[in-house]
Structure 1
Amino acid sequence: MPPATSMTPWSRRFKSLNDINSNHYMLFNSGTRWLAFRLDFMAATLTLFVSLFVVLSRNEDISPSLKGLALSYTIQLTGMLQYVVRQATEVEARFNSVERLQEYITGCKSEAPRHLEDACMPENWPTGGSIAFQNYKMRYRENTPIVLNGLDFIIRAGEKLGIVGRTGSGKSSLGVALFRLAEPAAGSILIDGVDISAIGLQDLRSKLSIIPQDPVLFVGTVRHNLDPFNSYSDKKIWVALERTYMKDSISKLEGHLQAQVLENGENFSVGERQLICMARALLRNSKIILLDEATASIDAETDAMIQTTIRDAFQDCTMLTIAHRINTVIHADRILVMDNGKVAELDTPDVLSQRSDSLFSSLLDAANSVSTSEAN
């Protein structure tokens, strides 16, 4: 084995995981041997007592045939006892899965229906993309704290809204609320006047697009990742790839759009995966786009190109950008500052930055000081 200093990170990771597995396997074998010894000891002790009873008892009390039968069954007890105990422990271990399935069946609440026949939803909804939060409250599970508390504001159609705030302020929870990953505890969200709680989940989520911070690709082809339901032509897919600067990279792959994508997109870099996710959102052409710091994994040059593409391609869309870096939303139409699940501030970047007592100004100053220290 090469010395530790020359081992690659993957080799060290494999060695560490192998050691952990060996430790647990040794403990399991040790426990099995301990149990087998105790069971054998119990069986041998019982055999000793039965043998003494057989030898010391008189033939007039117990016939010799019954004594022989008792000794025969007692000797067989050694193997049978271990087998029965092992089977009992196996049954108990296996029934843990049954208990979990039973809990999921009886205790877990399923999501809302995918489609509602009586839903009042206009054709080609949403046409504008305006979003209205009306005294909205949300918690992730019952008997847990409120994470969004009394949100009451309006996002205009086609508006570019930057969402900022400290860790735990409720930025990402807005996306959870918009996609109805958690149902509201009170209040409602209206998109173009339609209450999203009154329509099916599929009808809602098919009209929204999200570009996550961590790009998600699935095993299959490039085309399947871009258009899983075969709703668009190859020409439109190539146009989306060209607008996200991925056309040349995909053209060089064997099979082009039919090129294979490994699990989690391992045959693409993180930046390329993010670009493919952006091409997927471009292809759907939704009226409402949610960006969760979508360019965090892309270099500065590609980031600049993508920002230009976002401004051009999503010009007529309502775009909500959850920003972990304040500078990425400084050119948004308005800034929403979240604090403890509430709307702390909502105004244009210029107005908020000029107010020295605003929370946005403090976040902006902190971001600039970090950038200055990194540059030095």
Structure 2
Amino acid sequence: MNLKNGPVIALISALLFGAGTPLAKLLLGDGVDPWLLAGLLYLGSGIGLGLYHMIGRVAGAVPREAPLARGDLFWLALVVLAGGVIGPVLLMIGLAQSAASTAALLLNVEGLATMGIAWVVFREAVDRRLLLGAFAILAGAVVLSWQGGPGDFGMGALAIVGACVAWGIDNNLTRKLSAADPVQIAMVKGLAAGSVNLVLALAHGATLPPLPAIAAAGAIGFLGYGVSLVMFVLALRHLGAGRAGAYFSSAPFIGAVVAVLLLGEPVTGHLVVAALLMGVGLFLHLAERHDHEHTHEAMGHAHRHVHDIHHQHEHGPDDPSGEPHTHFHRHAPMTHRHPHYPDLHHRHGHAR
């Protein structure tokens, strides 16, 4: 894999999600209930990706990816539960009891939770350069969100932090599914999370907005939640959760820039400082060179691949021809040295 692909994919994911935020705010300005909007955005994601998946398969235009296997369903259920149910519910509880400035600031905890869980629990490799870069990106997001005042850091704030931790768990568990079809993963998550949030919002007393607002929410959800999540799953495949989470933390800055360009919002000192901090953080990550001797244990899995240095296997009569292609294959033990990220084939331990 070209090492440049992973960061680019992660930044595209952040771009789509960040750009969707100010557009979604326009719908909130039209009086759409926030919880209901979350449901419509997720459903737009799931339905849009479902149509893409179905039409693409019929036309033969969708790249063949490994489908979700039976063993993936447990992890997918946890992903939907953590990121699609617990996270949004805790966020709604927190928003009801917290100042808007406090909520905006605390939502940046998601990036920190994603990176912390990846590095502490899943033992992804990290050095001082990456830590400094990650905290520079997060500091930029905090500066961008800060509107002055300590706000209310009570139970509402704890609920928002809980939501961010749930999304951090979601991001790390999704890494376990990253070999499978990212469109299928995002589609299932969108449909499940959208249905749950919509039902909860309607039960809470929300009413459906006019059809144009529903269509707009669906379109924003398809790009900002659906396609963005597909890109994020691919980034997890190439980068691991910690690095993908760091790049994705640039989404608030991207959203602010889109708001300036499309909505005419002013260029503030917060935006300039955030740009500088995030620029430093992204540079430190892009300049990373993780290169050491490492050993690949024997393993077998299915995912889309080409016959590079890590895929020197033989094909059976039923395996597809042409590249890239998808089929179950086995990796023999191998020890070598080259630059790499903690991708599908480099989730090995490191000396502490």
TM-score of the superposed pair, with normalisation by structure 1: 0.22
- The structure that has the greater radius of gyration is 1
TM-score of the superposed pair, with normalisation by structure 2: 0.23
**Which structure has more RCO (C-alpha within 8 Å, separation ≥ 6)?**
2
Flag the structure with higher strand content: 1
